[in-house]
Amino acid sequence: MTAKPRMSQRAGILARALNAVITRRPLGTPPGTAAIRHSSEVRSMVLVLTLTEIPLAFLVSEILPPPGRPPHAVLELALILTGFGILAAMARNPHTISADRVALRTGFLGAIELPRPMVRSATHAMRTIEGRGLRRVPNEASAVACSIGSSVNMRVHLEEPLPMDLGDGQSLDVDTVYISADSPEAVTRALKNSTVHL
């Protein structure tokens, strides 16, 4: 029902997504499946930080003594590639809605896959839920958040509580999932256009 990747798995997700972008591999969304992008605010912030890091790396390198430049270059390259990897992972892992499945994704911090018949509706819900990735929602015992940042703008309602494992060893019966979507209207439209109607 849920997937919360470990650190090594996250690194693999970033590397594969970046490679797919570089090689211009198609997203491969199956026919009849709607793909909805998410996390636009986080994407914008990561893009600015990553692009800022490039000239900053050259400036810092000029200040460092020659022996310190190679290790610094390796560190900066890793930071920049990580930034671009995060951007690629968010772009390559959108939310997807089909007649069978509703996959709610963060990019590289986990995902929730739900049977489409179990999703009753989705509504606008602007709020801040501290943390990132898959996490419990404070003061809502049966709700989880699935977003890369703390800002969410949609609430997905389930037909009945479903048991989910958030990676902390305890099962949680969930009837609400908070997500971020660049186009909330696209989410509601995709749900309405799937074979199970709201």
Q: Which amino acid is present at 129?
A: I
- The percent of residues above 70 in pLDDT, for the chain, comes to 96
If you average pLDDT over residues 126-155, what whole number do you get?
95
If you average pLDDT over residues 24-50, what whole number do you get?
93
Digit-coded pLDDT (tens) for 46-56: 999 999 999 99
Angle between helices 40-63 and 69-92 (to 10 degrees): 170
Task: Give CA–CA dist 178/66, Å, rounded.
Answer: 50
pLDDT for residue 198: 40
If you average pLDDT over residues 148-152, what whole number do you get?
95
Task: Give CA–CA dist 198/179, Å, rounded.
Answer: 18
DSSP β-bridge partners for residue 102: 97, 114
| Contact residues for 151 (Cβ-Cβ < 8 A; gap 6+) | 41, 126, 127, 128, 180
Query: Does the structure show a pLDDT above 50 at 196?
Result: no
The token pair at 80 is 């920049």
Digit-coded pLDDT (tens) for 5-28: 788 888 999 999 999 999 999 988
- Buried/exposed code over 97-131 (b: 16+ C-beta within 10 A; e: otherwise): bbeeebbbbbbbbbbbebeeebbeebeeeeeebee
Query: Does the structure show a pLDDT above 80 at 79?
Result: yes
Query: Does the structure show a pLDDT above 70 at 3?
Result: no
